Chains A and B, each alone.
Chain A
Amino acid sequence: MKVRVYVSLKNGVLDPQGRAIHHSLEGLGFAGVNDVRVGRFIELEVADTVTDASLEDMCRKLLANTVIENFRIERVAS
């Protein structure tokens, strides 16, 4: 089974990378972009027996740093 983990910076955490991308978009003439935040997308291939609790544990222990990041787990039927 495929699992997608989305890791994003918490509100209030400065994202200089997102800011640089925002400036670059403006430089290309795209109007109306109010903000850009960069996150991380991790795809896992796991056995069906892996529990939600175990996936959440993986996120808390390694995939995300919960001091600065939020995470969201999505199971994808294969």
Chain B
Amino acid sequence: MSAFRSAVITFPGSNCDRDMADALEKVSGTAPHRVWHGDADLPEGLDFIALPGGFSYGDYLRCGAIASRSRIMQAVIAAAGRGVPVLGVCNGFQVLTESGLLPGALLRNAGIRFVCRDAKLIVENSQTLFTAGYSAGQTITIPVAHHDGNYFVDEATLDRLEGEGRVAFRYAEDVNGSARQIAGVLNQAGNVLGMMPHPERVVESAHGGTDGRALFESAIRGLVAA
């Protein structure tokens, strides 16, 4: 088996990129490429692309809006179209919706406040590249830290997402007002996942939890098997 080739994209204002890179290295055994937003191209032959959390461009205009129009995102959108797995966490999720890779938008939390705490999630679909290491209905604990995580999309799209098994994770309780308590959604092909909670913050026992580890393991195993 060849080494797992992943990349973490850093935008100006990203602040979870090192955590993401560290998690990918710890779980896969290979350090990811670090890619800057102004780069024109991604490294060749990537197995996995991660868009990290943070406050890209200071959340100017709308969260993720300017990052989603940055140079490197054209390459990320093209890679996603070829089937390369893309994970967007927190601000990365906002970048994915703003770029059109995922449906919907992330609004200000319904309770207005920034929410920073552990959240219980229910694994809704364990038949995906990112969730095969969990079982359907399993409750896991992953921290959230966001101000704009209130997932919004029209009712018809919500029904379609649910019908197609594209709701990967749901909050076990209302955290931010998200439609149908959705915490993570997939694109139609199943190779793009956006989620507000931070799996990269719970991959080793020193983190106080390891429930995020299976997400990275799932993706790595799935890709090695494929």
Residues of A within 8 A of B (CB): 13-14, 16-17, 20, 61-63, 65, 67-68
| Complex CA–CA separation, A68 to B107 (angstroms) | 9
In the complex, are the beta carbons of B112 and A62 less than 8 A apart? no
Q: How far is the CB of A20 from chain B (nearest CB, A)?
A: 6
Can you identify 7 A-B contacts, CB atoms within 8 angstroms?
A: A14-B150, A14-B152, A16-B107, A16-B110, A62-B65, A65-B65, A67-B103
| Complex CA–CA separation, A16 to B107 (angstroms) | 9
User: Which A residues are CB-close (under 8 A) to B69?
Assistant: 61-62
B98 within 8 A of A: yes
In the complex, are the beta carbons of B98 and A65 less than 8 A apart? yes
| Complex CA–CA separation, A14 to B153 (angstroms) | 11
In the complex, are the beta carbons of A20 and B112 less than 8 A apart? yes
User: Which B residues are CB-close (under 8 A) to A14?
Assistant: 107, 110, 150, 152, 177
Please classify the interface of chain B as helix (H, G, I), strand (E, B), loop, or mixed, using the class held by over half of its residues.
loop
Nearest-neighbor residue (CB-CB) of B68 within chain A: A62
| Complex CA–CA separation, A68 to B154 (angstroms) | 9
One of A17, A63, A65 near B108 (C-beta < 8 A) = A17
One of A13, A17, A62 near B152 (C-beta < 8 A) = A13
User: Which A residues are CB-close (under 8 A) to B61?
Assistant: 62-63
Q: Which bracket fits the contact residues of B?
A: 20 to 34
| Complex CA–CA separation, A63 to B65 (angstroms) | 9
B12 within 8 A of A: no
| Complex CA–CA separation, A65 to B110 (angstroms) | 19
Nearest-neighbor residue (CB-CB) of A40 within chain B: B61
| Complex CA–CA separation, A67 to B61 (angstroms) | 15
In the complex, are the beta carbons of A17 and B105 less than 8 A apart? no
> Of residues 81 to 127 in B, which have CB atoms within 8 Å of A's CB atoms?
97-98, 103-105, 107-112
Nearest-neighbor residue (CB-CB) of B106 within chain A: A68
Q: How far is the CB of A69 from chain B (nearest CB, A)?
A: 8
B33 within 8 A of A: no
Q: How far is the CB of A10 from chain B (nearest CB, A)?
A: 10
| Complex CA–CA separation, A63 to B98 (angstroms) | 11
| Complex CA–CA separation, A17 to B150 (angstroms) | 13
User: Which A residues are CB-close (under 8 A) to B111?
Assistant: 16
One of A16, A61, A63, A68 near B112 (C-beta < 8 A) = A16
User: Which B residues are CB-close (under 8 A) to A67?
Assistant: 97, 103-105, 152-153
B62 within 8 A of A: yes
Nearest-neighbor residue (CB-CB) of B103 within chain A: A67
User: Which B residues are CB-close (under 8 A) to A65?
Assistant: 62, 65, 98, 105
Q: Closest 6 interchain pairs by CB? A: A67-B105, A68-B105, A16-B112, A16-B108, A16-B110, A65-B105
User: Which A residues are CB-close (under 8 A) to B98?
Assistant: 65
Nearest-neighbor residue (CB-CB) of A12 within chain B: B154
